[in-house]
Every structure is written in structure tokens, then in C-alpha cells.
């Protein structure tokens, strides 16, 4: 079995493995070309995160989706470049909003330069993605535009928070579907669309992309509590320390508001305090790791992954479907 991508995605067929790897290499070259400018600062800032690497999960999913049509169709690799450029652009903007100092192991653009350079570089990446997608036809432009609207809507909803009377967990899931699921859905949709797959297959892969995207973000919520930095690349408790209301915290609040266990309110008080203190953070993490709220959050992630697996049922059996199915299983493996 050969691992070809992030999150344990595996390709059991050597021929498919080689073709996917070749496709990812072509995408990487396309990203470098798309981020060049006549202005040296723009090139340097735009390629800053490209050269830092990354999981390239969206291009990988797009290439696998293309296997259900003609994977060598001329629009497949450019579409993968579009999706990754869009993702990278959102990272530049996210780092400004989050005041992040590090991204992918290197200084964030807003730290290395400033917020103005970061936001304008993100805009530059969006413009390059738009230029490429315009060459792929009206259908591709529409898909990209609708996804961008959902991305922005999800970010605004997260910034605003739940409305009065709105279920915070339902709000969180809606935000995740918009901010994360929507662009991964585009990867599934565009891969199949550019490869000339049937309309039914396109819809299956778009739905799969959104569900698996939500599943992995919910798994990341769990990993903020239990993750191994050597594997996840993220220090446990980062979201807690920054005051991000991730799923385990929302599940804890839900339990505490009902028939919560003794100590739930004290744990919530601890979590709402200053977690910049390493001792307080360690205490909070230890309590959450044995709490029912974490199990509920795990089950939520598994539920979305299982829904994604079931969505694949109409697709023909083969190595590409196996790889997508394995991806669903890897959600469970990540959160254990």
C-alpha cells in the first residue's frame, strides 16, 4: 500500500499511484507559474506559502474525482491549481484575522511583511485563480463563484457568532460547511466536471467532498485536545488558548446546561480564563481528554465521515473509489 497524500489517503494500485503523483507534480508547477508577477515583492509574497508546502488535500481529491471520467482531460490540472490558489488566498486573509505569526512552519506573511501586504497578496491569488477558471468555461466560473460566496458567508457567520436562540452546535457545523466543506466540495465537483463525468457522478463527488471536509475539520477540533504535535504539526490547546469555540467545548457547554456531571461548570470557568498559563492549559486539556464531551465530538466527526462513505455507493468500484473510502476511515484513525 502506498500513501500518496495527507490524512492517510492510500492508493493500492501502483498505476493509479504513479498517475496521481504525476498530477500533483503538474499542479505544483502550475502553482509556481500562477504566482509569478513582474513585481518581485508580489512574487515573493505569493510564493511564500506555496513553497512552504502543505497537504495539497484539495488537488489530491480533485485528481481522484477526475478518475471517474477522463483524468487526462486538459482542464483537470488547471482546475486543481484554481482550487489550491483559492485555499491559499483564504489562508493569507485568515492569518490577518487571527493575528497568526506562523503558517506551515514559516512566518506568516502578515508577520514577515505586514497586514497590507498579506491582504493584497490574498487578493492577488484570488485574481489569478479567477483568471485561470475563466479559461475553463462558464460552468467552472459559476462553481467557483458560488463556493467563494459560501466561504465568505461562513467566515462572517463565524465572526458574528450564533444568533439569539440559535443552537451553537448547529451554527458551528454551518460555519464549518461554509469555510471548509464548500471548497473541498468544489474539488470533488470540478475534478469530475473537468473530466467529463456524468452529472450524477459530479453531484456524488461534490457531496462527498463537502461531507469529508466537514469531517476532517471536526477531527481537527478533537485533535486540538488530543493531538500529537509530531503527527499533527499543531500544539494541543492552540484553539482553546485563542478562545476558539471548537466542537468539544461546545459539547461541554451543552452538557453543562443540561444534566452535566459534577465539575462541568468549574471546567468551563477554567476554560474561559487565561490559558496562556501553561499549568492552567495542561489542567484544562487533561480534564477534557477524559470528558464525555470529547467522545461526543469524536462521534460527530465519525458520523460525517460515515455519511461521506455512504455517498460513494453509486460510484463504480475501483482504485479511486477505494482511496476515497480509505479517506473516510482515516478520520477515525486521526481522532483516536
* Distance (Å, whole) CA 187 – CA 85: 12
Percent of the chain with pLDDT over 90: 67
- Asked if pLDDT for residue 102 goes beyond 80, the answer is no
Q: Which residues of 206-229 are buried (b: 16+ CB within 10 A; e: fewer)?
A: bbbbbbbbbbbbbbbbbbbbbbee
Q: What is the pLDDT averaged over residues 47-62?
A: 85
Number of separate helices (H) and strands (E) present in the chain: 17, 4
Domain span holding position 131: 2-335
* Distance (Å, whole) CA 131 – CA 233: 33
pLDDT in tens, 152-177: 999 899 989 999 999 999 999 999 99
> What does the pLDDT read at residue 233?
56
Q: What is the pLDDT averaged over residues 88-117?
A: 65
- Mean pLDDT, all residues of the chain: 88
Q: In which residue are the cell numbers 455507493 written? A: 313
For 34, 188, 308, 323, the CA distances from 71, given in Å and listed in that order, are 22, 13, 22, 15
What band does 319 get if pLDDT is binned at 50, 70 and 90?
Answer: very high
Total number of domains in the chain: 1
pLDDT in tens, 246-299: 999 999 999 999 877 788 999 999 998 888 889 999 999 999 999 999 999 999
* Distance (Å, whole) CA 18 – CA 250: 43
What band does 6 get if pLDDT is binned at 50, 70 and 90?
Answer: very low
> What does the pLDDT read at residue 179?
92
Look up the pTM and report it.
0.90
Pick from 96-100, 144-148, 165-169: least confident: 96-100
Q: What is the CATH number of the domain that holds 89?
A: 1.10.600.10
Q: What is the pLDDT averaged over residues 198-223?
A: 96
Pick from 103-117, 118-132, 310-324: least confident: 103-117
> What does the pLDDT read at residue 113?
63
Q: What is the pLDDT averaged over residues 136-157?
A: 94
Q: What is the pLDDT averaged over residues 45-68?
A: 88
> What does the pLDDT read at residue 5?
46
For 51, 59, 272, 320, the CA distances from 62, given in Å and listed in that order, are 21, 5, 40, 11
> What does the pLDDT read at residue 73?
98
* Ranges assigned E (strand) in 82-180: 102-103, 106-107
- Asked if pLDDT for residue 228 goes beyond 60, the answer is yes
9 three-state secondary structure = coil
What band does 115 get if pLDDT is binned at 50, 70 and 90?
Answer: confident
What band does 244 get if pLDDT is binned at 50, 70 and 90?
Answer: confident
- Asked if pLDDT for residue 90 goes beyond 60, the answer is yes
- Asked if pLDDT for residue 221 goes beyond 60, the answer is yes
Give the bridge partners for 107, in sequence order: 102
Amino acid at each position: 500500500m502506498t500513501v500518496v497524500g495527507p490524512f492517510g489517503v492510500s492508493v493500492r494500485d501502483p498505476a493509479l499511484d504513479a498517475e496521481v503523483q504525476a498530477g500533483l507534480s503538474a499542479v505544483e508547477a502550475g502553482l509556481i507559474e500562477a504566482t509569478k508577477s513582474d513585481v518581485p515583492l508580489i512574487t515573493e509574497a505569493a510564493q511564500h506559502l506555496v513553497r512552504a508546502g502543505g497537504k495539497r488535500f484539495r488537488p489530491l481529491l480533485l485528481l481522484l474525482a477526475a478518475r471517474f471520467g477522463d483524468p487526462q482531460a486538459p482542464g483537470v490540472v488547471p482546475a486543481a491549481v484554481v482550487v489550491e490558489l483559492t485555499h491559499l488566498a483564504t489562508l493569507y486573509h485568515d492569518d490577518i484575522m487571527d493575528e497568526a505569526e506562523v503558517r506551515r512552519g514559516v512566518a506568516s506573511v502578515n508577520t514577515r511583511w505586514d497586514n497590507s501586504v498579506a491582504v493584497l497578496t490574498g487578493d492577488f491569488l484570488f485574481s489569478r485563480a479567477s483568471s485561470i477558471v475563466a479559461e475553463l468555461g462558464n460552468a467552472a466560473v459559476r462553481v467557483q463563484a458560488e463556493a467563494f460566496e459560501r466561504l465568505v458567508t461562513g467566515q462572517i457567520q463565524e465572526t458574528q457568532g450564533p444568533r439569539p436562540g440559535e443552537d451553537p452546535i448547529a451554527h458551528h457545523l454551518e460555519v464549518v460547511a461554509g469555510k471548509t466543506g464548500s471548497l473541498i466540495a468544489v474539488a470533488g465537483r470540478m475534478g469530475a466536471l473537468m473530466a467529463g463525468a456524468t452529472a450524477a457522478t459530479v453531484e456524488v463527488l461534490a457531496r462527498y467532498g463537502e461531507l469529508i471536509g466537514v469531517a476532517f475539520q471536526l477531527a481537527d477540533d478533537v485533535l486540538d485536545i488530543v493531538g500529537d504535535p509530531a503527527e499533527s504539526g499543531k500544539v494541543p490547546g492552540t484553539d482553546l488558548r485563542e478562545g476558539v469555540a471548537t466542537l468539544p467545548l461546545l459539547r461541554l457547554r451543552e452538557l453543562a446546561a443540561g444534566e452535566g456531571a459534577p465539575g462541568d461548570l468549574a471546567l468551563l470557568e477554567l476554560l474561559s480564563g487565561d490559558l496562556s498559563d501553561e499549568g492552567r492549559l495542561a489542567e484544562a486539556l487533561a480534564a477534557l481528554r477524559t470528558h464525555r464531551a470529547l467522545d461526543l465530538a469524536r462521534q460527530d466527526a465519525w458520523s460525517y465521515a460515515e455519511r461521506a462513505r455512504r455517498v460513494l455507493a453509486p460510484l463504480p468500484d475501483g482504485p479511486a473509489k477505494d482511496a476515497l473510502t480509505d479517506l473516510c476511515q482515516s478520520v477515525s484513525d486521526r481522532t483516536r
